[in-house]
Amino acid sequence: MIFKKNILCIGAGYVGGPTMAMIAYKCPQHRVTVVDINPSRIAEWNSDDLPIYEPGLDEIVRATRGKNLFFSTDIEGGIRDNDIIFVSVNTPTKTFGAGAGMAADLQYWEKTARQILQYSQSSKIVVEKSTLPVKTALAMEKILNYTKSSVSFDILSNPEFLAEGSAINDLDNPDRILIGCRETESGYAARETLVEIYANWVPREKIITSNIWSSELSKIVSNAFLAQRISSINAISALCEKTDADITEVSRAVGMDSRIGSKYLSASVGFGGSCFKKDILNLVYLCQHYGLHEVADYWENVVRINQYQQERFILNMLTTMFNTLAGKKICLFGFAFKANTSDTRESPAIYITKRLLEEKAEIVITDPKALKNAKADLAGVEGKVSFVEDPYKAVEGCHAIAVLTEWDVYRNLDFQKIFSTMTKPASIFDGRNIIDHKRCFDIGFNVYPTGKPALTHT
Ligand SMILES: NC(=O)c1ccc[n+]([C@@H]2O[C@H](COP(=O)([O-])OP(=O)(O)OC[C@H]3O[C@@H](n4cnc5c(N)ncnc54)[C@H](O)[C@@H]3O)[C@@H](O)[C@H]2O)c1
């Protein structure tokens, strides 16, 4: 079959895999190839056991793989044979040198840019899919257009707004697609090419365009605003616990104001995931770089409150369990950073596990999808940790349950049965406010929700 366009994505991760699968699914006329330096990841994408769990992903990969969707380790051939190249490599927080702990580590990004230059034999459109600091496209242009050859490169910014756990639905029905370009004739032409691809399934009015710097910045700001809402409601949850106000009631009342809106107002143990913290710190670093110290401080506090919320959760467990956790068995319900994903990157569960181990508690972790990643995250960590898939088995003999992920399965467990096998007094610390607190209290648990009065028998 002759395909109309040949599209490449460099980076077969949480973004590259699902976004390209969706493009292949919606555009059978185009050929989509995803490449990665990690051969085992590519092997998993080519197997029945995909490297990431995402509801609906298996189906669209099965429908397209081998037809117009291909996963490969041949980066050189991929660059040579494709006209549109998405770059979706990881951009973690820098851990060394200037800007360590804040700035984005762009080494993978730059390496990719150099590979594109090295292997290209014809002109390309290069699309920034990774989340990048504003002005990265300028660096990309400098690398790609360093040698004045007949091969030219147009750089577009097309940040990805999907949320893990609902990625397939987000890709199928996005709130918006943002495409930023250089304001030149070839920049506009490149942008139109990308608009045409998305227009295969996204209504035109949802495909918005901007200059390239606005596009780069919008993604980071979007994540900063989302994280800010979580930190705002979590900060108020601390006040609710001191005043007998109920955070769910406060959220409902506040969220019904149409200027505020009701989404993202659930108090919790804190946000996780690979993006929020890194993107805010990146924003903080950018502000500092431009001498905007007050702005930097403002955003840095969003991260501080998130840390505070997790530490508060630990201290609440410690003080309510007679100021010692040593030798006590605590079961963590959920390790993924949110429901419906196997991703545990920056999950509050990692920090909480390590802190509980410092208190010499014994930890039992249960999670429907994330145990493999949990084991990897905790490899080499000292202390007693076990991993048990069945929550009923996991709680046996435990003194407390800490609900850390809002998996649906935890809402409707038989808590009477659970209570009967636990050590008494048995406590539940609900870091997601998803279980029926009153019912669990009536069964005999001491219940500690987030941002609501505790229900205790003592
Ligand atoms: N995870 C999300 O929910 C999400 C959402 C929106 C945007 N983003 C952004 O998208 C980008 C990718 O995130 P992710 O979660 O998919 O990361 P990831 O770590 O899951 O995937 C990145 C992949 O890139 C590969 N890679 C790195 N350097 C490479 C190279 N030189 N050549 C080929 N492959 C290379 C890695 O092996 C890895 O498989 C980041 O900038 C992130 O901020 C992530």
Instruction: State pLDDT tens for residues 392-409.
Output: 999 999 999 999 999 999
**Average of per-residue pLDDT across 18-24:** 98
Beta partners for residue 104, in sequence order? 93
The predicted pLDDT at position 129 comes to 94
Cis ω on the peptide bond leading into residue 453 (within 30° of 0)? no
Distance CA 40, CA 62 (A): 19
**Which ligand 1 atom is at minimum distance from the Cα of 131?**
41
For 93, other C-beta atoms within 10 Å of its C-beta total 19
Q: What single-letter amino acid sits at 401?
A: I
Decide: 12 in ligand 1 pocket, CB within 6 A: yes
Pocket of ligand 1 contains residue 171 by CB under 6 Å: no
> Over the stretch 205-240, which tens digit does the pLDDT of each residue have?
999 999 999 999 999 999 999 999 999 999 999 999
Contact between 190 and 152 under an 8 Å Cβ cutoff? The reply is no
State which ligand 1 atom lies nearest to the alpha carbon of 274: 1
H, E, C per residue of 311-354? HHHHHHHHHHCCCCCCCCEEEEECCCCCCCCCCCCCCHHHHHHH
Please say whether the beta carbons of 36 and 11 come within 8 A: yes
- Provide the 3-class DSSP secondary structure of residue 222: helix
Percentage of the chain beyond pLDDT 90 is 91
Task: Examine the pLDDT at 458 and tell me if it is beyond 80.
Answer: no
CA 361 to centroid of chain Cα atoms: 28
Asked whether 88 lines ligand 1 (CB < 6 A), one says yes
What single letter denotes the amino acid at residue 45? W
218 DSSP 8-state letter: H
Q: Is 89 in the pocket of ligand 1 (CB under 6 A)?
A: yes
- State the distance from the centre of ligand 1 to the C-alpha of 112, rounded, in angstroms: 12
**Tokens 């048995």 belong to which residue?**
426
Residue 97 CA, ligand 1 centroid: distance in Å: 22
Among 40, 88, 90, 178, residue to substitute to test ligand 1 (most atoms within 8 Å of Cβ): 90
List pLDDT tens digits, range 291-308. 999 999 999 999 999 999
Q: Is 44 in the pocket of ligand 1 (CB under 6 A)?
A: no
Q: What pLDDT, on the 0 to 100 scale, is given for residue 146?
A: 77
Q: Which atom of ligand 1 is nearest to the CA of 41?
A: 39
Q: Of the residues 9, 27, 181, 275, which is catalytic?
A: 275
Q: Do residues 224 and 302 touch, judged by C-beta distance below 8 A?
A: yes
Q: Please give the single-letter amino acid code of residue 310.
A: Q
What does the pLDDT read at residue 148? Answer: 67
Q: Which amino acid is at 91?
A: T
Find out whether the beta carbon of 162 lies less than 6 Å from any atom of ligand 1. Answer: yes
Half-sphere exposure of 218 (CA within 13 A, CB side): 19
Residue 217 identity (one-letter amino acid)? L
* pLDDT (mean) for 85-104: 90
Query: Does residue 10 have its Cβ closer than 6 Å to ligand 1?
Result: yes
- Return all residues near 268 (Cβ < 8 A) that are at least 6 apart: 230, 234, 309, 406, 431, 432, 433, 450
Which has more confidence, 332 or 140?
Answer: 332
Whole-number Å distance between alpha carbons of 22 and 4: 17
157, β-bridge pairs: 128, 180
Torsion of CA 319, 325, 331, 335, to 10 degrees: 80
pLDDT of 454 reads: 97
Q: Mean of the pLDDT values across residues 410-424? A: 97
Active site residue 275: yes
Helix (H, G, I), strand (E, B) or coil at 376: helix
Peptide bond into 425 cis (omega under 30): yes
Q: What is the sign of the dihedral through the CA atoms of 56, 60, 63 and 65?
A: negative
CB 426 within 8 A of CB 400: yes
Identify the residue whose C-alpha is closest to ligand 1 atom 25. 11
Task: Give the other-Cβ count within 10 Å of 46's Cβ.
Answer: 14
pLDDT tens digits for range 175-196: 999 999 999 999 999 999 999 9
Task: Calculate the dihedral angle through the C-alpha atoms of 280, 282, 286, 288, rounding to the nearest 10 degrees.
Answer: 70
pLDDT over 80 at 147, yes or no: no
- Percent residues over pLDDT 70 in the chain: 100
The two structure tokens encoding residue 284? 């903080």
Average pLDDT over residues 15-43: 98
Q: How far is CA 427 from the centre of its chain?
A: 30
Closest residue by Cα to atom 41, ligand 1, is: 130
Q: Which long-range contacts (CB under 8 A, 24 or more apart) does 42-51 make?
A: 42/12, 42/71, 42/72, 42/73, 45/12, 45/17, 45/71, 46/71, 50/17, 51/12, 51/17
pLDDT of residue 175: 98
- CA–CA dist 110, 270 (Å, integer): 32
H or E segment to which residue 427 belongs: strand 427-430
What is the pLDDT of the chain when averaged over all its residues?
Answer: 96
